[in-house]
Chain A
Amino acid sequence: MKVIFTGISVMLVLILVFVNIADYALYSSKRNLIARGIDHSVCAAIQEMDLSLSKIGLSEGFDPETGRILVNDIRLDEETAENAFFSTLTANAGLSRNDVGSNTLIAYVWPTAAGISYLIKKGSTRHEGFVSSPDKLEEAINNAISILWDTNNSQSDSHLIYVNGNPSTNEFKRTPYFLVFVKDYQIDGLFRKRTATFVGFAGAKLERRR
């Protein structure tokens, strides 16, 4: 009898270990798939410029005093940018707008002569604002996140985004941005459900032709 019990115990432990490893592997694979998908999707969305809203900005060209390229008042088309984002995400990770829409916050950022304007959207809620310089954007977006989401739930994922942590690579510059924050998205493993939070943003790569 001892042999049988020992054998069954070893088998149960092995099954438990195996199932847990498989569960986490499935979760992390899906999480990576979504993270890569978001990366490709924000790069697709940032190219959807609204020509009618951007015509003044596009006509300005260069700063006559410094010779630097001007990118003020170049704005994205909200509808087509979001279409591009969600269609690319669906193609990459199989997630549709309905799957992640309620967990998604989208921020549009565009420079103006006076500073940086932004529009933050979550569902039908719109939160518009203005900051004097790009380094203040992180705080403005985090404030909007704390307004638009219930931040009292200690079980939910982190509420903050960190963009300015590394000035040489991550810091916002003076250019149009498309930023997406997907929070507490539930991913099913083999038997356990876990949540994950994703942040992705892309800056417009603008250049002036001679």
Chain B
Amino acid sequence: MGKQRGTSSPSPFILKAGEHMSKIYPFIIIIPLIAMLLFKGVFFYEYDTKQRYIKDLADSTAYIVKITGVLTQDEYNRLKTNLNKYATFNDNNIILKKGIYSNGNILASEPYIPGTRLKKGDAFVIYMQSDNVSNYSRVENLGVSMDDAKNLYFKAKAVCRVEYMD
């Protein structure tokens, strides 16, 4: 009648005492490490994508000034709204400068006020740096580092020469 159960060979499904611990410890170490790597990957992707969009916005603004000779207040506000979709940008985080080309070399040190009309051949510089530190930087430094050089901000710069002629 039926099979006789052996008592001498241990069942493969029943763990011995101590085996629980030997499997739990690797899980405790490995799973958080894998999770950390995945988080880093996700935050790096987020940083890279946002950085590209912000550079695109800097270049688009430079193209507008190159072709039209002016960055209007409306256009500047639109730029700020778009930038704030990706990170925090206040007025002091966006630096606009104008200048000239002398013997082909850029001399751009004067601040540019939105709405000012530039002449053909003038130089226009736009530089922006986010107010907040990127999430990727926070993961890398386990927060905002006291040493600001280690913090990674969103930055973009574009320099162009005005082609617009009155």
Contact = CB atoms under 8 A, between A and B. Distances in A.
Indicate, yes or no, whether A interacts with B.
yes
Interface of A: 3-4, 7-8, 10-11, 14-15, 17-18, 21-22, 25, 29, 32-33, 36, 40, 43-45, 47-48, 79-85, 87-88, 91-92, 205, 207
Contact of A40 (B120, B161, B165): B161
Interface in B34-81: 34, 37-38, 40-41, 44-45, 48, 51-52, 55, 59, 62, 66
A18 B44 contact: yes
Q: Is the interface of B mostly helix, strand, loop or mixed?
A: helix
B94 interface: no
Contacts of A21: 41, 44-45
B160 interface: yes
Given A11-B37, A83-B103, A91-B106, A4 B165 contact: no
B18 interface: no
Nearest to B161: A44
B158 A36 contact: yes
A17 B157 CA distance: 30
16 contacts: A3-B23, A7-B26, A7-B30, A7-B31, A7-B34, A8-B30, A10-B30, A10-B34, A14-B34, A18-B40, A21-B45, A44-B101, A45-B104, A47-B101, A88-B159, A88-B160
Nearest to B48: A25
A32 to B, nearest CB: 7
| Shortest Cβ-Cβ A-B pairs, 6 listed | A83-B104, A7-B30, A84-B104, A44-B161, A80-B104, A91-B159
Q: Is the interface of A mostly helix, strand, loop or mixed?
A: helix
Given A3-B30, A17-B41, A88-B160, 19 more contacts: A3-B26, A7-B26, A7-B29, A7-B34, A10-B34, A21-B44, A32-B55, A40-B62, A43-B163, A44-B123, A44-B161, A79-B103, A79-B104, A80-B103, A81-B104, A84-B161, A87-B101, A91-B125, A205-B163
Which range contains the number of B residues in contact with the other chain? 35 or more
A44 B105 contact: no
Contact of A87 (B23, B62, B106, B157): B106
Contacts of A10: 30, 34
A59 B38 CA distance: 67
A14 B121 CA distance: 51
Given A29-B51, A91-B106, A11 B158 contact: no
B139 interface: no
B44 A25 contact: yes
Given A29-B48, A47-B163, A11 B30 contact: yes
B62 A11 contact: no
A206 B51 CA distance: 36
A44 B55 CA distance: 20
Given A10-B34, A83-B103, A205-B163, A92 B158 contact: yes
Interface string B96-125: 000001011110000000000000110101
Given A10-B34, A11-B30, A87 B105 contact: yes
Contact of B161 (A14, A29, A47): A47
A44 B48 contact: no
Contacts of A25: 44, 48
